[in-house]
Amino acid sequence: MFVRRIAVIGTGYVGLTTGACLASLGHEVVCADVDIQKIARLRHGDVPILEPGLTELVTEGLAAGRLKFVVGARNAIAPTELSDEPVEVVFLCVPTPMGTGGAADLTAVETVAREIRDLLPSGCVVVNKSTVPVGTAARTKQLLGRRDIAVVSNPEFLREGSAVHDFLNPDRIVVGCDQQDAAERVAALYSRLGAPTLLTDAASSEMVKYAANCFLAMKLSYVNAMAELCERLGANVHEVTEGMGYDRRIGQAFLKPGPGWGGSCLPKDTHALMQICDAAGLEFPLLKASLETNERQSGRMVDKIRTAVGGSLRGKRVGLLGLTFKAGTDDLRDSPALTVAEGLRAEGAELTAFDPGCPAAVPGLTDGIVVTDDPMAVAKDADAITVLTEWPEFRALDWPAMTKLAANPTVVDTRNLLDPAVLRRAGFSWVGVGRR
Ligand code: UDX
């Protein structure tokens, strides 16, 4: 394997995972960020995000001298004391948040491209890893204004909470470029992983990411709608999805109903694809319906909780188990748990929350919620307790003790996480999703 000198711009969960994992594969990696404090922490192996295995890889990379952290994109491109060899591959891993009207905001990608264009050594390859609309590779190439630099699309498929595992054990690697040799050079960086690799054109590669994420979002909206139908007809969605999932064309994954899908990718990418469709003059009713079904889902959960407390939420105490958008992360961005909490608060409920990934209040996100690091405090005088995130540790809570603390021992389990039999034995009534 060739050792490449790589620069990674942006040390969010995608950039840091990419940098640390590429270093673990033997490459020499310099990671850059504009956040001076973050870089100072990373230089000491102090990883600011919760991502299993990442601290270990960063520590290893630093110790082996294969991983370095610098402030600013320019410093990652210029020769450093790590190596005076010219940089060969530059990964852009900067945020592409939802901008006005739902389209992806490419300001960060464009700023970095302008910043580095005159520094890039001839023949170097720039790789877009962030999720960007079709045409961004071509636009980046234009911004760089360099005939001697190829721009490649290589989307990430990392789930938060298992990003390191996903990077090192990918289902596939997609590399798109209108110059075959550049695509092959990027694909070669991952050769040790032995994953199926699709080499394609830049536009198709950019589209794969949206097509995959929006398909997953659609799958979840389908399941959430199916859960509602199961409730009406007395079927059990758990059994229904298990029966569906044995069909290899469908698969068991991504079939769990919940309070709606969220996080930093699925909502943003679905809105962005809607914008892409609008701009292309195409109606995509399936996509629109997936979003609408998801928007309705949090309201359905509020309905269940309102019913559980007797018909009105005004002045009722609701204990929340979970705030993050899924288990195994500390990320609250676009969390369906927060959307449900907002709905409860709007109707006058008083909220106390416990989340293993969020031990204290986060201004601007958990305002109006008492955030505690003691799960028992969630049960104290509660008119209802609701599970909003699927943290497995909630199963092991002392439910019999919680019954004694609660004013009304009722659990609304929006993730179907808990065992209803265990809850009933503890003295709770249990309401799930898609089950009687
Ligand atoms: C997603 C994609 O999976 C990943 O490939 C992409 O690169 C980034 O976006 P992530 O946002 O980390 O990853 O979360 P994911 O595990 O996909 O979950 C998304 C949402 O769907 C969460 O709110 C989760 O709770 C929900 N979900 C997931 C369900 O409600 N039911 C399921 O069965 C699976």
Question: 């997609």: which residue's tokens?
Answer: 174
**Nearest atom (ligand 1) to Cα of 157:** 7
List strands edge to edge, sheet with 125-128: 67-71, 28-33, 5-9, 89-92, 125-128, 150-153, 173-176, 197-200
Q: Please report the beta strands in 72-196, taking only residues with DSSP state E, as ranges in sequence order.
A: 89-92, 125-128, 150-153, 173-176
Catalytic: which of 93, 124, 214, 265? 265
Does ligand 1 come within 6 angstroms of the Cβ of 156?
A: yes
Alpha carbon 279 to chain centroid, angstroms: 26
Q: Is 263 in the pocket of ligand 1 (CB under 6 A)?
A: yes
Angle at 230 (CA atoms; ends 229, 235), nearest 5 degrees: 155
Q: What is the pLDDT of residue 1?
A: 61
Candidates 131, 159, 323, 333: which one to mutate for ligand 1, based on the most atoms within 8 Å of Cβ?
A: 159
CB under 8 Å to 355, separation ≥6 — which residues? 320, 321, 322, 323, 324, 337, 371, 389, 391
Structural domains in the chain, CATH included, are 5-200 (3.40.50.720), 202-436 (3.40.50.720)
Ligand 1 in contact with 158 (CB < 6 A)? yes
CB 269 within 8 A of CB 206: no
pLDDT at 100: 84
Mutate to test the pocket of ligand 1, among 261, 321, 415 (most ligand atoms within 8 A of CB): 261
Beta carbon of 149 within 6 Å of any ligand 1 atom: no
Ligand 1 center from residue 112 Cα (angstroms): 28
Q: Where are the beta strands (DSSP E) in 188-345?
A: 197-200, 317-321
- What pLDDT sits at residue 82? 53
Tell me what pLDDT residue 81 has. Answer: 56
Contact 384, 411 (CB under 8 A): yes
Helix (H, G, I), strand (E, B) or coil at 40: helix
Atom of ligand 1 nearest to the CA of 390: 25
The pair of three-digit structure tokens given for residue 169, joined into one six-digit string: 């054990």
Q: Is 265 in the pocket of ligand 1 (CB under 6 A)?
A: yes
- Distances 230 to 251, 290, 389 between C-alpha atoms, Å: 20, 18, 22
For residue 259, the ligand 1 atom closest to its alpha carbon is 30
Residue 256 beta carbon below 6 angstroms from any ligand 1 atom = yes
Q: What is the pLDDT along the chain (436 residues), one digit of tens a residue?
A: 678 999 999 999 999 999 999 999 999 999 999 999 999 999 999 999 889 999 999 999 999 999 999 999 999 998 665 567 789 999 999 998 888 888 889 999 999 999 999 999 999 999 999 889 999 999 999 999 999 999 999 999 999 999 999 999 999 999 999 999 999 999 999 999 999 999 999 999 999 999 999 999 999 999 999 999 999 999 999 999 999 999 999 999 999 999 999 998 999 999 999 999 999 999 999 999 999 999 999 999 999 999 999 999 999 999 999 999 999 888 999 999 999 999 999 999 999 999 999 999 999 999 999 999 999 999 999 999 999 999 999 999 999 999 999 999 999 999 999 999 999 999 999 999 999 7
Starting at the edge strand that comes first in sequence, how are the strands of the sheet with 350-354 ordered?
A: 369-372, 350-354, 317-321, 384-387, 410-413, 429-431
Number of residues that make up the chain: 436
Ligand 1 within 6 A of CB of 87: no
User: Annotated catalytic, 265?
Assistant: yes
User: From the CA of 266, how far away is ligand 1's center (Å)?
Assistant: 7
CA 217 – ligand 1 centroid, Å: 8
Q: How far apart are CA 46 and CA 65, in angstroms?
A: 16
- Whole-number pLDDT of residue 103: 84
Alpha carbon of 158 to ligand 1 centroid (Å)? 10
DSSP 231-273: HHHT--HHHHHHHHHTSTTT-STT----S---TTTHHHHHHHH
| Closest CA to ligand 1's atom 14 | 159
* Residue identifier of the C-alpha nearest atom 2 of ligand 1: 159
Q: What letter does residue 128 receive in the DSSP assignment?
A: E
Distance 71 CA to ligand 1 centre (A): 31
Our answer on whether the CB atom of 266 is closer than 6 Å to any ligand 1 atom is: yes
C-alpha distances (whole Å) from 408 to each of 51, 297, 331, 345, 373 are 37, 25, 31, 19, 22
Instruction: Look at residue 101 in the predicted model and tell me its pLDDT.
Output: 84
With a 6 A CB cut-off, is 167 part of the ligand 1 pocket? no
The one-letter amino acid at 308? A
User: What one-character DSSP code corresponds to residue 158?
Assistant: P
